[in-house]
Amino acid sequence: MHLPQFEYIRAKNLADGLAVLAEYGADAKVMSGGSDLLINMKYRLDTPKVLVSMNGVSELKTVEETADGGLRIGAGCQLTDLVANPAISERFPVLRDAMSAVGSRHIRNIATLGGNLCLETRCWYTNQSENWRMTREGCFKTDLEACHVIKTANRCHAINSSDTAPALMVLDASVVLASHAGQREVALIDFYRDDGVDHTVVKPDELLTAVLIPGSDRRSIFAKLAQRVGLDFAVGTFAASIRGSNDAPDSVCLVLNSVSAAPKALAESEKILIESGLTDEAIEAAAIAARKALGELTNLFTPSGFKRRLVKTLIRNALHELRDKVN
Ligand SMILES: Cc1cc2nc3c(=O)[nH]c(=O)nc-3n(C[C@H](O)[C@H](O)[C@H](O)COP(=O)(O)OP(=O)(O)OC[C@H]3O[C@@H](n4cnc5c(N)ncnc54)[C@H](O)[C@@H]3O)c2cc1C
Ligand code: SF4
């Protein structure tokens, strides 16, 4: 498979990249590591006229400490570098664990945090070459009002597989979106839309420039299940954080990903744990509530029935582990 024709622009700095996006809008596509985008272009799922590479922009590659004990991480930082960053490992091990779970070492050497958060959604239909897809009609993601995965769907249910999204969400992180006109901060919990076609709030002329993580005294955990450890996208990921004691937590935050078009915050399960603490019974009830909250599921490599059972087990095991964690 070869790439389609496109104009390649390598941004010299942030202002340069934003100017290109302002000029070309939806005809342009941002490339960071390119580990996902270039494959989608070969599949003809993305055919931008202009590719703006932000890979050489040093302003996007810094990690800074913030006054509240948190971190500001440049969107263009490569995952391998971030995994090795001592400030991240010490303060936010849940993020380190999630980043370590992305693909293989080779992928993480080029993949960036910004690219991981903006990762396109996937399903078994889009995960194929254009020739394969041409044996069927199109879908919401291409040119037709139809879905091959959930026949009755009125929107695209392709899956959000970002490993870092749930980990950052349980840390109350937000992102900075910049355009030629200025910049805005968006809490990660408000960043995703439950629609596989238009799955983030990023506008065509905007760029994700940084991730902001506030200082925190939460204990947290990340869990991922994939068919092949060390390479595959997840079948399910789960992140949890808790502030306060196991018996009477002040706050609990639970997020599931790789099961729907947007990461899922598990409000009902959180309520159960806040009211009852992390007892065996409450953990079981929280896992059952999460399973019920799933709604429609797609079949990406695994049947949806398996995924429902998986979610319950993933959450139960992770919460037991979190309960025993000192930090
Ligand atoms: C074999 C293989 C295994 C993989 N396994 C995993 C996995 O286990 N978990 C996982 O999460 N991912 C996985 N991936 C997907 C991908 O490699 C990672 O998600 C990676 O972090 C994407 O980052 P990138 O910098 O390469 O993004 P790119 O490919 O450059 O971009 C991805 C998308 O984000 C947009 N984008 C990039 N940067 C920005 C920005 N700063 N602002 C706005 N939009 C932006 C691009 O336009 C594009 O739509 C895998 C990929 C492969 C090929
Ligand atoms: S989930 Fe349905 S609409 Fe979305 S990309 Fe897959 S087949 Fe197309």
Domains of the chain as residue ranges with CATH: 219-322 (3.30.390.50)
Q: What is the pLDDT of residues 26-47, one digit of tens each?
A: 999 999 999 999 999 999 999 9
Q: Give the mean pLDDT of 115-132.
A: 90
The whole-angstrom separation of Cα 232 and Cα 104 is: 8
Tokens of 310: 């998986």
Amino acid at 222: F
75 alpha carbon, closest ligand: 1
Of 20, 18, 23, 28, the closest CA to residue 49 belongs to 28
Residue 197 has phi, psi (to 5 degrees) of -85, -45
Question: What pLDDT does 301 receive?
Answer: 64
- Are 49 and 6 in contact, with CB atoms under 8 Å apart? yes
Residue 192 has phi, psi (to 5 degrees) of -100, 150
Site to substitute for ligand 1 among 3, 20, 37, 126, most atoms within 8 A of C-beta: 37
113 alpha carbon, closest ligand: 1
The whole-angstrom separation of Cα 246 and Cα 26 is: 48
The whole-angstrom separation of Cα 277 and Cα 297 is: 29
33 alpha carbon, closest ligand: 1
142 alpha carbon, closest ligand: 2
Nearest ligand 2 atom, CA 147? 2
Site to substitute for ligand 1 among 41, 102, 120, most atoms within 8 A of C-beta: 102
- Are 64 and 18 in contact, with CB atoms under 8 Å apart? no
Ligand 1 site, CB within 6 A = 29-37, 39, 54, 75, 102-103, 107, 110-112, 114-116, 118-120, 161-163, 202, 207-208, 231, 233
Question: Is beta strand 264-265 parallel, antiparallel or unpaired with respect to 182-187?
Answer: unpaired
Question: Is beta strand 50-53 parallel, antiparallel or unpaired with respect to 28-31?
Answer: parallel
**Angle 315-319-325 (CA atoms, 0-180°, nearest 5)?**
145
**Angle 243-119-159 (CA atoms, 0-180°, nearest 5)?**
80
- Residue bearing the CA closest to ligand 1, atom 3: 103
| Distance linking the first and last C-alpha atoms of the chain | 47
Ligand 2 site, CB within 6 A = 123, 125-126, 139-141, 147-149, 156-158, 196, 298
Reduced to 3 states (helix: H, G, I; strand: E, B; else coil), residue 48 is coil
Question: What pLDDT does 268 receive?
Answer: 97
Q: How confident is the model at residue 229 (pLDDT cuts 50, 70, 90)?
A: confident
Ligand 2 midpoint to CA 214 (Å): 36
Q: How confident is the model at residue 300 (pLDDT cuts 50, 70, 90)?
A: low
Q: What is the pLDDT of residues 256-270, one digit of tens each?
A: 999 999 999 999 999
Nearest ligand 1 atom, CA 78? 25
218 or 131, which is more confident: 218
